[in-house]
Amino acid sequence: MACRQATERLKAYEIHGIDVSHYQGNINWETVAKQDIQFAFVKATEGQEMRDKQFAVNWKAIDKTQVKKGAYHFFRPSISSAAQAKNFIEQVKLKPGDLPPVLDVEVLDNTSPSTLRKGMKTWLEMVEQHYNIRPVIYTNLKFYQDYIQGHFDGYPLWIARYNYRPPLLSGSEEWQFWQYGNRGRLPGIQGNVDFNVFCGRMEELEWLCLTGE
C-alpha cells in the first residue's frame, strides 16, 4: 500500500483507533467517536521539554466520549531519558480505564543502538514505576527489527507497517496495536490521520488499561 494512497479501514478487526498530535489541529471528538473508533493515542511530549500544544485540549475532549485514550512520548535518544520521563509524567495524568503510556521510538539521533536501548530502559522503568502499569513501545517494523527486537520482551507493542498485511514479528513476541496507514480520513478531523487496529476484542483492550488498584 503506497503511503500516497488514501488509507482504507481494515474491516477484519473489531477494535479500531487513531493517533493524533497538533498536526491534526482542532478535532471534533464527538463526531470522531461516532465513526466506530474505540481508542485514540494522543501525543503529549517530546524530548526533555517539548509539550504538544493540542494535548490538553484533546485529552479533556476525549474524556467526554466513550473512546479510550492513551498518551505517547516521542523519544530522543541523545537527550537524558530521565528528564524525558519527567517531562511526560508532569504532563500526563492517567485515570482507571486509560490506556498505558506509550514510548514512541523511531530515531537514533546519531547515537548508538546500545545508547538507545539504555535510554529506553530508563524511561520505561521510571514511567512504569510512576503509573504502576507497563508502557507500550511504538516503532516501525524495520526499526523494531534493527534495534529493539529481543531486548524488551514482554512489553506491549504498537507496530507501524503501512500495508494491508499485518506485521510479522520473529520469536515469541506479538503486536497488540498495528498502525497500518497514515492517510486515513474521518469526519471530525481535517486532513489525514493515522489508522490503527487492536489485536483482540474489547475485553482484552480493557484488560490492558490502567486499573484503579
pLDDT in tens, 46-88: 999 999 999 999 999 999 999 999 999 999 999 999 999 999 9
Tally of domains within the chain: 1
Query: Which tens digit of pLDDT belongs to each residue from 109-133?
Result: 999 999 999 999 999 999 999 999 9
The CB density around residue 153, as the number of other CB atoms within 10 Å, is 10
Query: What is the model's pLDDT at position 2?
Result: 45
Residues that are catalytic:
19, 106
* Alpha-carbon radius of gyration of the chain: 16
Q: What is the dihedral of CA 15, 20, 26, 27, to 10 degrees?
A: 0
Q: Give 177-196 pLDDT, tens digit per residue.
A: 999 999 999 999 999 999 99
Does the structure show a pLDDT above 70 at 143? yes
Residue with grid cell 466520549, as numbered in its chain: 65
pLDDT on residue 195:
98
Shortest CA distance to 212 belongs to which of 101, 64, 98? 98
Average pLDDT score, the chain: 96
Contact 175, 136 (CB under 8 A): no
Residue 3 lies in a domain: no
Q: Is residue 10 part of a domain?
A: no
Are the C-beta atoms of residues 39 and 197 closer than 8 Å to each other? no
Residue 128 lies in a domain: yes
> Does residue 100 belong to any structural domain of this protein?
yes
pLDDT computed for residue 172 by the predictor: 82
- Look at residue 198 and tell me if it is in a domain: yes
Q: What is the pTM of this model?
A: 0.96
**Structural domain for 201, as ranges:** 15-208
Beta bridge mates, 20: 42
- For the chain, what percent of residues have pLDDT higher than 90? 94
**Is pLDDT at 33 greater than 70 in this prediction?**
yes
Per-residue pLDDT, averaged over 2-20, amounts to: 88
Q: How confident is the model at residue 1 (pLDDT cuts 50, 70, 90)?
A: very low
Q: Is residue 99 part of a domain?
A: yes
**Per-residue model confidence as pLDDT tens digits over 22-32:** 999 999 999 99
Supply the CATH number for residue 43's domain: 3.20.20.80
Give yes or no for residue 211 having a pLDDT over 80.
Answer: yes
48 lies in some domain: yes
Query: Is residue 54, in this structure, part of any structural domain at all?
Result: yes
What's the pLDDT at 106? 98
